[in-house]
Amino acid sequence: MSADGIRRKIARRIRAEGPLSIAAYMAMALHDPEDGYYARRDPIGVKGDFITAPEISQVFGELVGVWCALTWHQLGRPDPVILAELGPGRGVLIGDLLRAAATVPEFRRALRLYLVERSTALRAEQEMRLGRFQPVWRPGLEDLPDGPLLLVANEFLDALPIRQFARRGAHWAERMVALDEQDRLAFVDGPASPLASLLVPHTLRDSARQGAVVEICPAALTLAAGLGARFSRQSGAALFIDYGYFPSAPGPTLRALQRHREVSVLAAPGTADLSAHVDFAAFAKAARDRGVDTHGPVPQGRFLTALGVEVRLAALAAQATPAQRQILERGVERLLDPGEMGTLFKAMALVSPGLPPPPGFETGL
């Protein structure tokens, strides 16, 4: 396995099949079983390429645990209940969540832990951190068993492959990945097509300026529709936290990150994280079309404040040394500050129809 291995595989496929959609490029670069970004490494944390909220502060996972326990009550305290996380990374969020859940012993006893993860490297990390809770791993949401479900996902949707469409005259053309004369990966326009126009959200189709680039994320829409269908048949609630926008708007937002620095999207397939901002409006619509209720998005700062972040911080600070207190306070500030993660990051909930708004979503946007 080598960084060049995946570039060669991508080039070979382009020579055989012609230009790839950006989604196909992302899927190969991130998930190729031998040379993909997630297959090869543990990318998260100070030493990795990016850092996430649970890695910044234990308070994040604890409050998601509070959310789960309160929402479990709203679901009528089902026993057993499936608690599943999509893309658990290093397993830090679930560890903090379960510690908070232990304060509600009936909930803790009722829950059965499922982890949806594709990366073998990260599964090994999760096993190490969470093995004692006997999690069951599944490759996809559709592989979870039937029954009441609580689902959480932090920075999962942004990792799903997106497609890009650019406005060209009256039509839209899909942006594709091709090879240039020097055999380097390069963006090109696919043919302008009325079909491409149909994939662009109708709110943007006619209003976007010439040259505008709109992103859609078929995997996120499929996930929303699947959860929507499930929650209209069986009780459940899902919490998604991610960076993104609402309402739908032109991008592009696709980015590559390597060691906390932005690099070119095509420069380093397999060795840089690729992610795009989440279109929460499109996600919510895909779920609502299947008959579930959606709430939010609510800015992360407001969501965590509604769940009692200040009280939790004060309780931890009271038992901490001055140096620890400073780290705790700085971590929470990063999560809440509008200039850091407080506003760009947002929380959205999908719940079975007829349930009250879940905790943190009582007042809408």
Name the site residues for ligand SAH (rule: CB under 6 A): 38, 44, 52, 54-55, 87-89, 93, 116-119, 122, 154-156, 159
Q: What is the CA radius of gyration of the chain?
A: 21
CA 190 – CA 174 distance, rounded (Å): 5
Tokens of 301: 């700062």
Among 298, 295, 319, 316, residue whose Cα is nearest residue 307: 298
Least gap, CB of 341 to ligand SAH (angstroms)? 12
Edge-to-edge strand ranges of the sheet holding 255-258: 261-263, 255-258, 273-275
Q: Which is nearer to ligand SAH, 44 or 176 (CB)?
A: 44
Least gap, CB of 221 to ligand SAH (angstroms)? 14
Q: Which is nearer to ligand SAH, 32 or 155 (CB)?
A: 155
Closest residue to ligand SAH, based on beta-carbon distance: 87
At 251 the three-state DSSP class reads coil
Q: Which is nearer to ligand SAH, 22 or 173 (CB)?
A: 22
Q: Which is nearer to ligand SAH, 116 or 336 (CB)?
A: 116
Least gap, CB of 94 to ligand SAH (angstroms)? 9
Among 218, 214, 188, residue whose Cα is nearest residue 201: 214
Q: Which is nearer to ligand SAH, 142 or 289 (CB)?
A: 142
How, if at all, do strands 261-263 and 255-258 pair? antiparallel
CA 297 – CA 284 distance, rounded (Å): 9
**Residue 81's beta-bridge partner residues?**
111
Least gap, CB of 38 to ligand SAH (angstroms)? 4
Whether residue 165 contacts residue 199, with contact meaning beta carbons closer than 8 Å, is answered with yes
HSE value, Cβ hemisphere, 13 Å, CA-based, for 228 = 19
CA 310 – CA 57 distance, rounded (Å): 13
* CB proximity list for 312: less than 8 A, separation 6 or greater: 59, 62, 63
Least gap, CB of 261 to ligand SAH (angstroms)? 17
Q: What is the DSSP string of 128-170?
A: HHHGGG--EEESSGGGSPSS-EEEEEES-GGGS--EEEEEETT
Least gap, CB of 339 to ligand SAH (angstroms)? 20
Least gap, CB of 87 to ligand SAH (angstroms)? 2
Q: Which is nearer to ligand SAH, 120 or 207 (CB)?
A: 120
Tokens of 320: 């901490």
Q: Which is nearer to ligand SAH, 48 or 360 (CB)?
A: 48
DSSP 89: T
Q: Which is nearer to ligand SAH, 156 or 246 (CB)?
A: 156
Least gap, CB of 115 to ligand SAH (angstroms)? 9
